Structure 1
């Protein structure tokens, strides 16, 4: 119980702490956009004109979230390659960046492939720059992200980093459903559970030591549960589900709440077209709103995966899925961030 109280106090402090020394006092009637973090007006949507689903879903996402039409960038990537070379990616990034306004803080790529740049994920290559060193030895430690566990609210303005996420669009209606779930915000979240599973797979359970303490966070109406099991069955109130195993069973029995985050620590969850392990895209198909997985062999460093405590604290403090996920991964070069970046079921607590 003492650990839960400490976590609750840390959560309250994170939600209340000013981001800048010269930030306005808490009594300010209308918070600035900076104080509120990522806004729809600061997100760019990148559409692949060579793919009809990308065009359809990109426009749907723009309308659902009220994103200005001027924030849409267009590229053409024929034949849906899984992986880009460094040179191909450099040309793609130049094409995207040339269409973005200075105030854009983050980017959503609306396609299922490409999702990798050599051994890097496309989201990390875009946000951090291509890391050739990681590809020389993919099992080596990674380079720390400056955004990890930070209080930065404007990553491009403050750090020169545009955070990025990918929205898979193999099936247009499923992708639209992800956007619909992510657009549910500014309401009082229902009672929910955060599930943390320590599985029989010891290597893939390397994050178990980082799981938040079990108990209830009354103000957020969220209960943290730690389980020793290989899968969760029948839960109907999921806001967070984190585990470690190559394939997660019984997803069809679960109900994820709007804005739910879910991921599994395994080597190739970010290989969206792979078949040797479960793709992180399966989480979105099961009803989650955002997820994460690595595109190349990372070995079981927890630093290459979302830190459970940091992810939960950031999300409950009102940050978006994009901010919470990016802020929870210390070494993200190989990690692919997928889903709806603007999902923020606890956004009211940020105000």
Structure 2
């Protein structure tokens, strides 16, 4: 036990070093040596794929995911959801759903929910409620500080064994073709290490942009072992950029998404109040629009969180874990300190940094 604690402490120290370098290095220096390899241990049998028995599209996509990721058929779980299209569950409806899932689970580490709605339980996101349990106290004041995520920035590679947490993610189904394309991007992410770009935008929307700006690197920082170049820009949006792997910004709506080229496994999100409400409210952009543009994973809140950085992905943390070789779901879940109001969406097993370029002595 002592050895395990020491090992975890050393790993967290290495991540801290990586974070310091991401934010502090001069733009002409490479931080490859500060990124410690920490590859995921998640396997196909660790994923439970959960679909809506009342929706043929949900089942079709779920079965496609099993095939694409070679997940055992016994990990396919059909559940009965409330009336079609219901977005926010009541507590009894959530408890019914959870009991259906729990009755069929074994030792799986990950829950993949294959539907667009429901995505919330009162003010909690469905993914966080399933993983961490309901926090109805948050709903008394959604702008209050949140409950700590015990998995935040941890060294854990077995969340259920280490923390009794099954990481949850929503794979939203708008059309079967778009859901299949999302799955394919996740699978393709592992086949090659590509030249990539990371973008961190400081926008004029100070309320949504400022909270995460302290976690942005200096413009031009590189991770040569991962073939990644970082760009921190004063800009309202990217347009016609290629090889985008990371894109963090803060705005109600992000223009020109479809003009960019996103690599398989790309992560992108925008800090705003209701990005996790998975329909177009006309006021704020839902995170599903990132997926439709070609991104593989995103995150947004389902109720008014106020602009605490702790309620949104920390760019330094998600990049440190993803670049170390962890999966999208591990890196993203580890990056949100207070996740109860946020829904994680995408293909959980995407793993574009499972390999590195050889390191040579100077």
Normalising by structure 2, we get a TM-score of: 0.88
Q: Which runs of 5+ in 2 are unaligned?
A: 1-20, 358-362
Tell me which residue corresponds to 1:54: 58
Q: Distance in 2 between matches of 1:320 and 1:36?
A: 6
2:329 matches 1:322: yes
Tell me which residue corresponds to 1:98: 103
Structural RMSD (CA): 1.6
Q: How does 1:137-216 map to 2 (within 5 A)?
A: 137-205=141-209, 206-214=211-219, 215-216=221-222
Q: Distance in 1 between matches of 2:249 and 2:279?
A: 21
SS for the counterpart of 2:50 is strand
Tell me which residue corresponds to 1:267: 273
Q: Distance in 1 between matches of 2:212 and 2:92?
A: 35
Q: How does 1:63-102 map to 2 (within 5 A)?
A: 63-77=67-81, 78-102=83-107
2:34 matches 1:10: yes
Runs of 4+ more than 6 Å apart: none
SS for the counterpart of 1:347 is coil
Q: Please say if residues 212 and 224 of structure 1, whose CA atoms lie closer than 8 Å, have aligned partners that are also in contact.
A: yes
Q: Which runs of 5+ in 1 are unaligned?
A: 17-34
Q: Distance in 1 between matches of 2:214 and 2:308?
A: 12
Residue 6 of structure 1 deviates from its aligned partner by 8.7
Q: Please say if residues 263 and 291 of structure 1, whose CA atoms lie closer than 8 Å, have aligned partners that are also in contact.
A: yes
Residue 288 of structure 1 deviates from its aligned partner by 0.1
Q: Please say if residues 212 and 308 of structure 1, whose CA atoms lie closer than 8 Å, have aligned partners that are also in contact.
A: no
Match of 1:220 among 203, 226, 230: 226
2:296 matches 1:289: yes
SS for the counterpart of 2:188 is coil
Deviations 1:45-85 (A, max 9, x none): 00101011101110011101111101111101131200001
SS for the counterpart of 1:311 is helix
Deviations 1:80-130 (A, max 9, x none): 20000111101100100111112x001000000000000000000000000
Deviations 1:174-228 (A, max 9, x none): 0110000001144331101000001000000110111133311111000011011
Match of 2:242 among 236, 239, 244: 236
Residue 133 of structure 1 deviates from its aligned partner by 0.8
Q: Please say if residues 147 and 326 of structure 1, whose CA atoms lie closer than 8 Å, have aligned partners that are also in contact.
A: yes
Alignment CA distance shift 1:344-1:109 (3 Å): same
Q: Please say if residues 31 and 222 of structure 2, whose CA atoms lie closer than 8 Å, have aligned partners that are also in contact.
A: no
Count of aligned residue pairs for this structure pair:
329
Residue 9 of structure 1 deviates from its aligned partner by 4.0
Tell me which residue corresponds to 2:6: none
Q: Please say if residues 110 and 168 of structure 2, whose CA atoms lie closer than 8 Å, have aligned partners that are also in contact.
A: yes
Alignment CA distance shift 1:238-1:185 (3 Å): closer
2:256 matches 1:250: yes
Normalising by structure 1, we get a TM-score of: 0.91
Residue 167 of structure 1 deviates from its aligned partner by 0.4
Q: Please say if residues 31 and 224 of structure 2, whose CA atoms lie closer than 8 Å, have aligned partners that are also in contact.
A: no
Deviations 1:213-260 (A, max 9, x none): 331111100001101111000001100011000000001211100000
Tell me which residue corresponds to 2:286: 279
Q: Please say if residues 82 and 273 of structure 1, whose CA atoms lie closer than 8 Å, have aligned partners that are also in contact.
A: no
Q: Distance in 2 between matches of 1:274 and 1:129?
A: 28
SS for the counterpart of 2:236 is coil
Alignment CA distance shift 1:90-1:10 (3 Å): farther
